[in-house]
């Protein structure tokens, strides 16, 4: 290796072999002697510790949502309230309070619609198609006004890159809720219908009494429906202001109510009333004496 240095006498640049380092050398140009500087001591290499390897970055936690498209599709099986409920829960997860409240209102409206359509179908089975039409119309409006908004938001911000919540438990609970709601609504509607039939039958029973030879003082005050015979027919008991009772057959077909009381029972009712009247007269006569 050559060293580049300057002669201190003639100030010319010289290239000197490194072997002359620390020795006296005559300048080849001016012949003056000078001392070649010694080489610096070698620098010891310090081993560097290996760089700290950063831990692998953990995957970001994905948002957990129910698929909004599936929620809308399940409405066809589980009723119009199913989709709005899970869209409401999705909006809560996404932190959109305004849209979550709107979905909650859709859910409540759907519940009223479901109960109303079930009651309608119970009282007017011939026009139950209107209930189905209203439910279908509700679903179309909900999809156009509300559901499409959530589908668009999820698609824009997450695409399909979010944790899909399982539908197994919600579907099972939805089917159970449908059955319970149908049972409760049917029982309540049947109770209301029987009460309406009872009230109408009381009026019909009094019309039957007015056309018969029964004492006009005898009036029907209550009808209790005991047994449902099918086809809107009920076997019941009529109660009268005199304390007597008779059997009565009540029937409800559409908007038409009818009733039938056996003539023999009317005669027995009249005889009991006559006997009571005779007994009362005898008592009064005895008291006068």
Residue 102 belongs to a domain: yes
Q: Is the pTM of this model over 0.75?
A: no
Distance CA 121, CA 117 (A): 6
DSSP β-bridge partners for residue 256: 253
User: What is the model's pLDDT at position 50?
Assistant: 60
pLDDT tens digit sequence for 160-213? 899 999 999 999 999 998 899 888 887 887 788 888 889 999 999 999 988 888
Question: What is the C-alpha to C-alpha distance for residues 80 and 92, in angstroms, rounded to an integer?
Answer: 20
pLDDT of res. 284? 55
Based on the domain organization, do 74 and 31 belong to the same domain?
no
Same domain? For 219 and 156 the reply is no
C-alpha 81/C-alpha 74 separation (Å) is: 10
Domain boundary among 104, 138, 165: 165
Residue 140 lies in a domain: yes
Q: Per-residue pLDDT for the chain (289 aa), expressed as one digit of tens each? A: 677 777 887 777 777 777 777 778 777 777 777 787 777 776 656 566 666 555 565 566 789 999 999 999 999 889 899 999 999 999 999 999 999 999 999 999 999 998 888 777 666 666 667 778 888 999 999 999 999 999 999 999 999 899 999 999 999 999 998 899 888 887 887 788 888 889 999 999 999 988 888 888 889 999 999 898 888 889 999 999 888 899 999 988 777 888 998 888 888 888 887 777 655 555 455 555 5
In 153-281, the DSSP E strands lie at 163-164, 220-230, 233-240, 245-253, 256-260
**pLDDT confidence of residue 138:** 94
> Do residues 142 and 93 both lie within one domain?
yes
Asked whether residue 263 is assigned to any structural domain, the reply reads yes
pLDDT at 182: 82
Q: Let me know whether 234 and 157 are in one domain.
A: no
CA neighbor of 215 nearest in space, from 264, 284, 271: 271
**Token pair listed for 199:** 């009230």
Reading the block at residue 125, the tokens are 């089975």
Residue 280 to residue 272: CA distance in whole angstroms: 12
Expressed as residue numbers, the domain containing 245 is 214-288
206 in any annotated domain: no
Domain boundary among 99, 133, 165: 165
Classify residue 120 as exposed, middle or buried by CB count within 10 Å of its CB (0-12, 13-18, 19+).
middle
How many domains are contained in the chain?
3
Domain co-membership, 109 together with 150 = yes
Q: Are residues 107 and 29 in the same domain?
A: no
DSSP tag of 233: E
- Residue 56, pLDDT score: 61
Tell me, what DSSP letter sits at residue 134?
Answer: H
Residues 73 and 27 both lie in one domain:
no
Answer yes or no: is 55 within a domain: no
Number of H helices, E strands in the chain: 7, 10
The 3 state secondary structure assigned to 54-90 is: CCCCCCCCCCEECCHHHHHHHHHHHCCCHHHHHHHHH
One domain for residues 83 and 159: yes
Assigned domain for 208 exists: no
Rg over CA atoms, the chain: 51
pLDDT of 280 reads 53
Within its chain, how far is the Cα of 11 from the centroid?
Answer: 98
Q: Under a CB-based contact definition with an 8 Å cutoff, are residues 14 and 4 in contact? A: yes
Query: Residue 195 and residue 199: Cα distance in Å, rounded?
Result: 6
121 occurs within a structural domain:
yes
Do the beta carbons of residue 220 and residue 240 sit within 8 Å? yes
Residue 137 lies in a domain: yes
Q: Are residues 30 and 114 in the same domain?
A: no
Q: Are residues 219 and 274 in the same domain?
A: yes
């Amino acid at each position: 290796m050559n060293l580049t240095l300057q002669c201190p006498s003639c100030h010319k640049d010289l290239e000197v072999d490194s072997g002359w380092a620390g020795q006296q050398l005559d300048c080849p140009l001016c012949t003056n002697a000078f001392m070649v500087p010694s080489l610096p001591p070698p620098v010891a290499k310090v081993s560097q510790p290996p760089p700290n390897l950063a831990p692998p970055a953990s995957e970001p936690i994905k948002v957990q949502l129910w698929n909004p498209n599936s929620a809308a599709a399940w409405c066809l099986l589980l009723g119009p309230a199913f989709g709005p409920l899970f869209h409401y829960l999705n909006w809560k997860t996404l932190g959109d309070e305004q849209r979550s409240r709107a979905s909650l209102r859709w859910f409540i409206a759907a519940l009223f619609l479901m109960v109303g359509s079930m009651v309608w179908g119970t009282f007017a089975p011939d026009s139950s198609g209107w209930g189905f039409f209203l439910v279908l119309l509700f679903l179309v409006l909900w999809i156009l006004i509300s559901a499409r908004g959530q589908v668009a938001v999820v698609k824009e911000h997450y695409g399909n890159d979010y944790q899909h919540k399982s539908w197994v438990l919600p579907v099972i609970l939805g089917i159970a809720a449908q059955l319970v709601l149908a049972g409760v609504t049917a029982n309540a509607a049947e109770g209301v219908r029987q009460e309406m039939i009872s009230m109408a039958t009381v009026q019909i029973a009094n019309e039957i009494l007015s056309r018969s030879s029964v004492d006009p003082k005898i009036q029907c005050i209550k009808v209790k429906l005991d047994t449902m015979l099918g086809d809107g027919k009920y076997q019941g008991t009529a109660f009268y202001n005199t304390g007597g009772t008779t059997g009565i057959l009540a029937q409800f077909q559409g908007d038409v109510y009818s009733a039938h009381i056996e003539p023999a029972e009317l005669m027995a009712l009249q005889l009991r009333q006559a006997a009571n009247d005779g007994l009362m007269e005898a008592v009064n006569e005895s008291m006068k004496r």
